[in-house]
Amino acid sequence: MTNMRKAAAAAVCGIALAGTALLTGPASAGTPDQAPNARPGAVQKPAEQWITEYVWATNVNVRDETSGPNCYHYPSIANCPGIVRTVSKENITVTCQKRGQLITDSGYSSEWWSYTLNGSYRPSGWTSNVYIRGNAHLDGVPDCAWS
């Protein structure tokens, strides 16, 4: 094979490999919530690490993150009127927590809310930390980075 033919073959291989990289994208381990949020004006959240926490109460509402325009910024009953699901005495997965409406129940109070994963086909949402075992501001759960 001549040098010119070798160079041409190498160039074709390089273009093919580059095209494959563009189609497949970079390899990554992935996280449960990396899919882009298609809602207009939605807050883009960074990649997250999910943590398991225990809900000690029964019939606790998980508030739909998409049910109100201010739900991301200040979790509350009024800002997040929709309910994705209820949970009772079970583990849930959370990624972060932020200040929101003060909730008081059964002698406990907390103004902190945890951002929860609700499965592939339901929106993520917010649960008041007053119903999650631990301190009002959960140990080991980071504050949410988005405002």
In three-state form (DSSP H/G/I as H, E/B as E, the rest C), the secondary structure along the chain is CCHHHHHHHHHHHHHHHHHHHHHHCCCCCCCCCCCCCCCCCCCCCCCCCCEEEEECCCCEEEEECCCCCCCCCCCCCCCCCCEEEEECCEEEEEEEEEEEEEEEECCEEEEEEEEEECCCCCCCEEEEHHHECCCCCCCCCCECCCC
The pLDDT assigned to 139 comes to: 94
Give the gyration radius of the chain's Cα atoms: 22
pLDDT of 106 over the 80 cut: yes
pTM, entire model: 0.67
The pLDDT assigned to 118 comes to: 83
- Read off the pLDDT of residues 61-91 as tens digits, 9 standing for 90 and up: 999 999 999 998 999 999 999 999 999 999 9
Query: Which band of pLDDT confidence, cut at 50, 70 and 90, is reported for residue 123?
Result: confident
